[in-house]
Structure 1
Amino acid sequence: MDIAKWTLIIGWIFVLIWVPFVIISNRKTHPKALFILFFAEMWERFSYYGMRALLTLYMVKVLFKGMEGADIKALSIYGSYTAMVYLFPVIGGLVADKIFGFRKAIVLGGILMMLGHFTLAFEGSNTLFFMSLALIIVGNSFFKPNISSFLGTFYDANDPRKDGAFTIFYMGVNIGAFLATLTCGYVGEQISWHYGFGLAGIGMAVGVIVFILSGKVFKGTGLKPEVITLKPAKPLGLSWEAIVYIGTLIMIPVCALLLNQNELMSTLMLSISAIIVGYLLYEALRNPDKVEGQRLLVVIVLFFFHAIFWALFEQAGGSLTLFAERNIDRSIGGGIIPSSLFTSFNPFYIMVLAPLFSWIWIKLRSKGKEPRTSMKFVLGLAFLAAGFLVIVLGAKFFANADGLVPMVFLALLYLLVTIGELCLSPVGLSMITKLSPVKIVGFVMGAWFLSISLGNKLAGIIGTLTAAEGNGKVLSAQETLLNYTQTYLIWGVFVVGAFAAVLLLLTPKLNKWMHGIH
């Protein structure tokens, strides 16, 4: 029985029923633009998560196969890649705000990402591999921040439909991620790695084409900013648009270089983080409005806890994928589940649980018992630690003689980690808009994405601690199991648990500094 094929078929049937239901049940409530952007974002996430499901496995099993330190190299590159994916959208958002407008930025980003995925589909040198990832990083910087902002332009600030629109949009994100991990994972591992990467490129192409052909639906929105805030001076006699295109071409080889320079990338991330956090601290302490200053201090404190959460959460695309490959009993019904398919648990759980969590918060709010923001962060970290504790216990007490752990423990880990994500992630963006001083809210939002970027880089560093090489020899399944469980126990349980405890102690002070903001 080909369990992977049947999982893929059932997953697509579920989505083909669910997506039309969502659209039909909301088409009279929301503008058509929502469903076009829903579709575009769904395919963009299909391309990103499809590639992400294969990336670490491909590097370890193909690109660096036989090389000493293959795990360390692959996980370091994965950490740098995902860090840059979240680092550069601040620049792309700035370009859309001041020069391009949302629509041109989204199209440019989509085309660059599509090219990156298609070049990954060709077998070639390591240089081509890094250039492909760089194209995706730079393209994402234009696409990712602007499609969400563009959606917001179709609703007034106080439109009661707005929260529902973003809930539907977020569903598109997770449907794309769910389909990608099933489809690209299956095609990449069972048929050809390069076909899997190429399929991700096709998904991105579909999203871009639909977006371009929907210009009439968007009418006059998302075009060039009506008020250009940049000075009209033209450096080197070039227009600002030309400067952006030239800068984009320069950034592609720069990103490719940084991907293969782990120490340089780590230093860069730490330096940028220190500068930005230092500036936020300066703004908080010098603010003549004490209330505004203390609210900004809350953001600074939670910045670090947010980064720690993502450092362990993002093991999903790195060390946890390799753990599934080497130390999970993936046999079922006479077949073997490809290890990349386990990453589909997270988006599936989100699709199922997000409406439930929305209902829970509303219910608790009506009774005056909804947890404050800082307490939701505590819950997020606690569930994250509980997820890693489950996998450690599963490895210690239920692993067989071959060093294989029943897959139910990995499914439980993803369930608990997803619950933690739902407690913490949606709250963070809302918190920024409420606690930031109006004059620097955009900058603070960029800093918040930087905390995710920093967390992703830390994820790569933590992942290297699980490396399956020792003194030049490949480790056995029993030895890799020990590596994984020791790392997850120390970082996933003890470190995350300690951060949750510290934040719990800080909660009364943070609530006080929020001055009534909930």
Structure 2
Amino acid sequence: METQKKTFFGQPFGLATLFFTEMWERFSYYGMRAILLYYMYDEIANGGLGLSETTALAIMSVYGALVFMSSIVGGWIADRLLGSRQTVLYGGILIMFGHIVLGIPSGILTLFVSMILIIIGTGMLKANVSSMVGNLYAEEDDRRDAGFSIFYMGINIGSLLAPVIIGTVGQKVNYHLGFGLAAVGMLLGLIVYVIQGKSTLKSVGTKPSNPIKKGEGSKIVKSLLGFAVVVAIIFVWAGFAGRLDIDFFINFTSVLGIGLPVYYFWRMLTSPDVSLEERKKVRAYIPLFLGSIIFWSLEEQGASILAVFAQNRTKDVFFGFHVPASWYQVLNPVFIVALTPFFVWLWTKMGKRQPSTVVKFSIGLVTAGLSFVMMMLPGILYGTEGRVSPWWLIISFFIMIIGEMCLSPVGLSVTTKLAPRAFESQTLAIWLLADATSQVINAQIARFYTPATESAYFGVVGLVAVVAGILLLFIRKPIQELMGNVK
């Protein structure tokens, strides 16, 4: 833990460095994401790639899933090789070059090259930044949840600015210029991280928490080679069988998205480096992880299903102003930034009287589900052929974000509390894997969203989250017992 006399909104001052680093990284990522879907299915004459809408939606979901899956690799590199500090730096550099490549107008090839760079870079950066935030606090420090809420606001300030700036430039001027601005955002984040971090982070994250021991290297190399051979065999078989298409990639990613968390939970529960008390906390974490998968499945559809709803079903004039579809991506971060001060005040004011983590998760799931249940109404009331008021999307996003404020920053916080020491950064990566798993689920279920099924789709998906939240509330006591002194 790093302590400083100077504070950042009453928090350790190292939080400021990580706050602004993540803010600019999210500016670059969400700016790119605000226009990427439209870039993929826009006509070639308009500067797009001319892909079908269905294919573009599938690629978005697979891409998002792989971004979060790669956090496992980034967490392993930090825990076993470099430490969080260096891993974050190298990840940011890869992200910046990924956006630079995407800014080059060279068609589908540069799209996939940039995706590879951004996937690897984000995996190295994102989980490790969050892990470093946790290292700023002692385990018993009541400021932790509030600190993560402030950190979460930084993420969403970047997410707020991105669609307005990059979305407008990308849709109104040139897609590739928009992607170039995303690269500039990541460069600013790296500058803050390197220069300010020297004085504010000091020894935080400089060493791996579970460095590779003598004799382990050969086993690790054999495991990696074995995995690579299995993947190669699967892809070669798919190629010879004529099945190497977008559906194959969706299904392959889906298997990874489900298999990786199962594997990592098994590893933590059986590792000799994890104590008996830590194993209890890992078991407590599993139902929270499953709940977060359901939550993120709904939240991530803001950039896919709800983005299509914004483009095809929402009026593009609001209070006399023309509103590009990409601007609706602003709603999520706007509401988070607006609500964060309230939730920081609420959790700080309540102190030890605040609801338990499990109850907060339950509230988050139920609220997120209701935001989708509400989206049944436009189709039921007005049909699915015409356009409806922007208020439907605005209110839906607002309800969703109330749930997100109860679940996401709290989930980050509790992950750092429950993480076994030997899997410190990798556990943060597992938290991000929940998002990856949710997106491979979305890649599978997005095909069921059509004008004819619009209301049923929103209703079914929303009710699943509501029921899951209620079930989590009923089993809160045994979960809390396993968590021990973690509240």
TM-score, normalised via structure 2 length: 0.82
* Structure 2 CA distance for partners of 1:297 and 1:49, relative to 1, 3 Å: same
**Counterpart Cα distance in 1 of 2:279 and 2:78:** 29
Counterpart selection for 1:460 from 443, 451, 457: 443
Deviations along 1:240-273, one digit per CA (max 9) or x if unpaired, are 9xx9xxx9xxx9xx9xx99882222122223323
Q: Which amino acid aligns with 2:294?
A: I
Is 2:354 the partner of 1:373?
A: no
Is 2:45 the partner of 1:59?
A: no
**Counterpart Cα distance in 1 of 2:78 and 2:337:** 30
Shift of 1:387: 0.5
**Counterpart Cα distance in 1 of 2:145 and 2:99:** 32
Would you say the 8 A contact 2:40–2:49 is kept in 1?
A: yes
Would you say the 8 A contact 2:163–2:327 is kept in 1?
A: yes
Would you say the 8 A contact 2:134–2:413 is kept in 1?
A: no
Deviations along 1:80-101, one digit per CA (max 9) or x if unpaired, are 1111221122322332344334
Give runs of aligned pairs for residues 72-91 of structure 1, distance below 5 A.
72-91=54-73
Structure 1 segments unaligned to the other structure (5+ residues): 1-24, 468-479
Deviations along 1:429-471, one digit per CA (max 9) or x if unpaired, are 333344455555555444333222211221222223225xxxx
Counterpart selection for 1:498 from 453, 464, 467: 467
SS at 1:230 equivalent: coil
Q: Which amino acid aligns with 2:191?
A: I
SS at 1:403 equivalent: coil
Shift of 1:126: 1.4
**Aligned residue number for residue 3 of structure 2:** none
**Identical residues among aligned pairs (%):** 32
**Aligned residue number for residue 341 of structure 1:** 327
Shift of 1:428: 1.9
**Counterpart Cα distance in 1 of 2:325 and 2:403:** 23
Q: Which amino acid aligns with 1:496?
A: A
**Aligned residue number for residue 407 of structure 1:** 390
Q: Which amino acid aligns with 1:326?
A: N
**Counterpart Cα distance in 1 of 2:67 and 2:355:** 31
Is 2:308 the partner of 1:322?
A: yes
Alpha-carbon RMSD across the aligned residues, in angstroms, is 3.7
**Counterpart Cα distance in 2 of 1:198 and 1:344:** 19
* Structure 2 CA distance for partners of 1:283 and 1:296, relative to 1, 3 Å: farther
**Aligned residue number for residue 344 of structure 2:** 358
Deviations along 1:283-332, one digit per CA (max 9) or x if unpaired, are 79xx995x765543332222222111111110011111111000011212
**Aligned residue number for residue 410 of structure 2:** 427
Is 2:294 the partner of 1:308?
A: yes
**Aligned residue number for residue 137 of structure 1:** 119
Q: Which amino acid aligns with 1:317?
A: A
Shift of 1:232: 6.2
Deviations along 1:329-384, one digit per CA (max 9) or x if unpaired, are 12124442011111111111111112212333345556x4x333222222111111
Give runs of aligned pairs for residues 284-299 of structure 1, distance below 5 A.
294-299=280-285
Deviations along 1:185-218, one digit per CA (max 9) or x if unpaired, are 1111111111111111111122223433446535
Structure 2 segments unaligned to the other structure (5+ residues): 1-5, 236-243
Would you say the 8 A contact 1:310–1:459 is kept in 2?
A: no
* Structure 2 CA distance for partners of 1:293 and 1:118, relative to 1, 3 Å: closer
**Counterpart Cα distance in 1 of 2:111 and 2:200:** 36
**Aligned residue number for residue 190 of structure 1:** 172
Is 2:245 the partner of 1:268?
A: no
* Structure 2 CA distance for partners of 1:74 and 1:506, relative to 1, 3 Å: same
Q: Which amino acid aligns with 2:362?
A: V
Would you say the 8 A contact 2:22–2:129 is kept in 1?
A: yes
**Counterpart Cα distance in 1 of 2:111 and 2:85:** 29
**Counterpart Cα distance in 1 of 2:331 and 2:82:** 37
Deviations along 1:386-407, one digit per CA (max 9) or x if unpaired, are 11122211332256x8521211
**Aligned residue number for residue 107 of structure 1:** 89
Bigger mean CA deviation after superposition, 107-116 or 211-220 = 211-220
Shift of 1:45: 0.8
Is 2:331 the partner of 1:331?
A: no
Q: Which amino acid aligns with 1:385?
A: G
**Counterpart Cα distance in 1 of 2:169 and 2:465:** 35
Q: Which amino acid aligns with 2:368?
A: L
Would you say the 8 A contact 1:280–1:300 is kept in 2?
A: no
* Structure 2 CA distance for partners of 1:440 and 1:235, relative to 1, 3 Å: closer
**Aligned residue number for residue 35 of structure 1:** 16
Shift of 1:162: 5.9
